[in-house]
Amino acid sequence: GNGEVGDNVSANVVKMKGFIPKLKEVFTGAVRAEIVLFHDIYNKKYPDKQNCRNAAAGIVRRKDGFGSKDLNLIYYDAVSTTHDVIFTTEIQKIKWLKEQHFPTVLTKTAHTPQEVVQVREDVINNVRATLNYDIDGLVIKGREIDSEDMKRTKPIKQIAFKFQAEGIETTLLDVEWSISGHHYTPVAIVEPVHLMGSNVSRASLANPNLIEDLKIMIGSEVFITKRGDVIPKIEYVIKTPPNAKEIPIPTVCEVCDTSLINEGTQLYCPNDSCPKRAYYRLTRWIKTLNVKYFSEKLMIRPLFDSGKIQTIADLYHLKVSVLTKLDGVKETSAKKALDNLYAVTKVPIAKFIGGFAIENIGEDMVQKVVDAGFDTLEKIRRASTFQISQVEGFAEISGNQLTEGITKLYPQMKEVLDTNKIKIEVKEVGNKLEGMTFCFTGKLEIMKRTEAEQFVKDNGGQTRSGVSKNLTYLVTNSTEPTAKYTKAQEQDTKIITEKEFVKMIE
pLDDT of residue 151: 65
Q: Which residues span the domain enclosing 110?
A: 10-162
Same domain, 85 and 119: yes
Co-location of 129 and 223 in the same domain: no
For residues 186 and 215, membership in a common domain is answered with yes
Residue 326 and residue 394 in one domain? no
Q: How many CB atoms lie within 10 A of CB 150?
A: 12
Q: Are residues 144 and 258 in the same domain?
A: no
Tell me the per-residue pLDDT of 94-140, one tens digit each, with 9 for 90 and over: 999 999 999 999 999 999 999 999 998 898 888 888 889 988 889 99
Assign residue 173 the CATH number of its domain. 2.40.50.140
The enclosing domain of 407 has a CATH number of: 1.10.150.20
**How many structural domains are present in the chain?**
5
Q: Per-residue pLDDT averaged across 385-414, rounded?
A: 92
Q: In what helix (H) or strand (E) does residue 485 lie, and over which residues does it extend?
A: helix 483-490
The pTM of the full predicted model, rounded to 2 decimals, is: 0.55
Starting at the edge strand found earlier in the chain, the sheet holding 473-475 runs 462-463, 437-440, 473-475, 494-496
pLDDT at position 230 is 64
Structure confidence at residue 303 (pLDDT) = 97
Give the pLDDT confidence score for residue 64 in this predicted structure.
83
pLDDT at position 466: 85
- Residue 72: beta bridge partners? 17, 36
Same domain, 445 and 391: no
SS (H, E, C) 105-118: CCCCCCCCHHHHHH
- Higher model confidence: residue 322 or residue 88? 322
* pLDDT above 90 for 159: no
- According to DSSP, residue 451 is labeled H
Q: pLDDT (tens digit, 9 = 90+) per residue, 34-67? A: 999 999 998 888 877 767 888 898 899 888 889 9
Task: Please check whether residues 236 and 184 belong to one and the same domain.
Answer: yes
Q: Please name the residues in contact with 129: beta carbons below 8 A apart, sequence gap of 6 or more.
A: none
Confirm whether 429 is domain-assigned.
Answer: no
Do 42 and 68 lie in a common domain?
Answer: yes
Are 253 and 363 in a shared domain? Answer: no
The pLDDT of residue 232: 87
Choice among 331-335, 348-352, 355-359, 480-484 with the minimum mean pLDDT: 480-484
d(CA 214, CA 135): 29
Residue after which a domain boundary falls, among 215, 235, 262: 262
CA 287, 289, 292, 294 torsion: positive or negative?
negative
CA dist 181 and 253 (Å) reads 12
> Is residue 228 scored above 60 in pLDDT?
no
331, containing H or E segment: helix 331-343
Confidence of residue 262 (pLDDT cuts 50, 70, 90): very high
pLDDT surpasses 80 at 454: yes
Instruction: Output 259-267 pairs: Cβ under 8 A, ≥24 positions apart.
Output: 260/184, 262/208, 264/207, 264/208, 264/209, 264/212, 265/207, 265/208, 265/209, 266/183, 266/207, 267/177, 267/183, 267/184, 267/185, 267/207, 267/208
Q: Using one digit for the tens of pLDDT, what is the confidence trace for 65-95?
A: 899 999 999 999 998 888 778 888 999 999 9
Per-residue pLDDT tens over the stretch 133-157: 988 889 999 888 877 776 666 778 8
Rounded alpha-carbon distances, angstroms, from residue 150 to 77, 154, 158, 411, 442: 12, 8, 9, 45, 10
User: Using CA atoms in the order 136, 161, 20, 450, what is the torsion angle rounded to 10 degrees?
Assistant: -120
402 compared with 3, residue with greater pLDDT? 402
- Last residue in a domain, options 296, 316, 344: 344
DSSP class of residue 17 equals B
Q: What is the pLDDT of residue 241?
A: 96
Q: What's the whole-number mean pLDDT along residues 204-232? A: 87
pLDDT of residue 415: 97
Query: Which sign, positive or negative, has the C-alpha torsion 230, 232, 233, 236?
Result: positive
Q: Where is pLDDT greater, at 440 or 226?
A: 440
- Residue 19 per-residue DSSP state: -
Cα distances (Å, whole numbers) of residue 331 to 113, 209, 328, 337: 67, 49, 10, 10
Q: Given this model, what pLDDT does residue 309 score?
A: 96
By the 8 A CB rule, do 7 and 61 touch? yes
Among the candidates 344, 367, 386, a domain finishes at 344
pLDDT higher than 90, residue 506: no
Amino acid at 198: S
**Section 436-441 average pLDDT:** 92
**Total Cβ atoms within 10 A of residue 469:** 8
Q: Which domain CATH number covers 107?
A: 3.30.470.30
Rounded mean pLDDT of the chain?
89
Query: Which pLDDT score, from 0 to 100, does residue 5 have?
Result: 55
The b-or-e profile of 207-237 (16+ CB within 10 A means b, else e) is bbebbeebebbbebebebbbeebbebbbeeb
pLDDT digit string, tens, across residues 274-297: 999 999 999 999 999 999 999 999
